[in-house]
């Protein structure tokens, strides 16, 4: 599959940023020799290594000795769109939202399994390759053609309102990653629009009724409680 070739066919570089040596060892082992790995123990080191090595993906802890990982992410976003996966023991919604709003692509709470890490890496790399160049998105029975603005479920056309389509398009463009409520509101209604989060929830609920086999137990649009939504790529779960 495409995501496997993303990992195996190219000499991708991953920067691991964590001040705990055991975590860095675990991450190195989890990557299983699939990547060229560089390491950094502080935020300033991470910024320096990222500028020199130009990694294809960054795995970043929040609790660094010299600065918070959220600040590192924000500074990276000043000059690069490299995928950033946050790893942290912090599980508060506020921390997740702050990191994602700063520009992180995903957030994993420690401890996590090697399998989950690899699934998040595959999704992040896929988004990186397709960013700004997505034409047709497919996952399970769902197909979204962004050029034709056509949505199908089990090969049957689905009629969406403009707002529902804009929400789905935003999720497709970040498929596999988390979009916070604020990020979705900005992408759908505009950066200066003070939309009621309840309006977003209502539209997501209506969208689920149209594309999910069971809107109460969705398999495509997954809620990240207190944070936002994720469009799950079913193919990632099979790899």
Encode pLDDT of 109-168 as tens digits.
998 999 999 988 988 887 776 555 557 889 999 999 988 889 999 999 999 999 999 999
Bridging pattern class, strands 136-139 and 142-145? antiparallel
- The ranges assigned to domains in the chain are 2-130, 136-238
Reply yes or no on whether the pLDDT at 8 is more than 90.
Answer: no
CATH code of the domain made up of 2-130 = 3.40.50.2300
Across 89-153, the runs of DSSP E, i.e. the strands, are: 106-109, 136-139, 142-145, 150-153
In whole angstroms, how far apart are CA 105 and each of 118, 165, 174, 203, 216?
A: 14, 22, 8, 23, 26
59 forms bridges with which residues in the sheet? 16, 85
Beta carbons within 8 Å of 172's beta carbon, 6+ residues apart: 134, 137, 144, 146, 231
- Mean per-residue pLDDT of the chain: 87
**136-238 belongs to which CATH class?**
mainly alpha
Per residue in 82-100, pLDDT (tens digit) is: 999 999 999 999 999 999 9
Distance between CA 139 and CA 80 in Å, rounded? Answer: 28
User: Do 158 and 211 meet the contact criterion of CB atoms below 8 Å apart?
Assistant: yes
At residue 149, φ and ψ (nearest 5 deg) are 55, 45
Question: Is pLDDT at 60 greater than 60 in this prediction?
Answer: yes
How many CB atoms neighbour CB 176 within 10 A? 24
Confidence of residue 2 (pLDDT cuts 50, 70, 90): very low
Q: Give the alpha-carbon dihedral of 74, 79, 82, 84, to 10 degrees.
A: -10
pLDDT tens digit string along 167-207? 999 999 888 889 999 889 888 887 656 667 888 999 999 99
Look at residues 50, 41, 47 and name the one whose alpha carbon lies nearest to residue 21.
41
The pTM assigned to this predicted structure is: 0.72
DSSP code, position 68: B
């Amino acid at each position: 599959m495409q995501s496997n070739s993303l990992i195996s066919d190219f000499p991708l570089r991953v920067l691991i940023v964590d001040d705990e040596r055991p975590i860095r060892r675990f991450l190195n082992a989890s990557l299983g020799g699939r990547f060229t790995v560089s390491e950094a123990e502080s935020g300033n080191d991470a910024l320096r290594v990222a500028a020199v090595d130009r990694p294809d993906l960054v795995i970043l802890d929040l609790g660094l000795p010299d600065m918070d990982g959220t600040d590192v992410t924000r500074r990276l976003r000043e000059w690069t769109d490299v995928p950033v996966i946050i790893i942290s023991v912090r599980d508060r919604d506020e921390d997740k939202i702050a990191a994602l709003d700063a520009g992180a692509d995903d957030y994993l709470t420690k401890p996590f399994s090697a399998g989950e890490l690899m699934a998040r890496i595959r999704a992040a790399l896929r988004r990186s390759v397709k960013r700004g160049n997505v034409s047709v998105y497919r996952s399970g029975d769902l197909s979204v053609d962004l050029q034709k603005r056509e949505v199908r479920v089990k090969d049957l056309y689905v009629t969406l309102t403009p707002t529902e389509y804009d929400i789905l398009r935003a999720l497709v463009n970040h498929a596999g990653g988390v979009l916070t409520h604020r990020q979705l509101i900005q992408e759908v209604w505009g950066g200066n629009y003070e939309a009621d989060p309840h309006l977003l929830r209502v539209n997501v609920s209506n969208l689920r009724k149209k594309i999910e086999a069971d809107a109460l137990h969705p398999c495509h649009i997954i809620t990240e409680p207190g944070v936002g939504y994720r469009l799950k790529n079913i193919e990632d779960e099979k790899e």
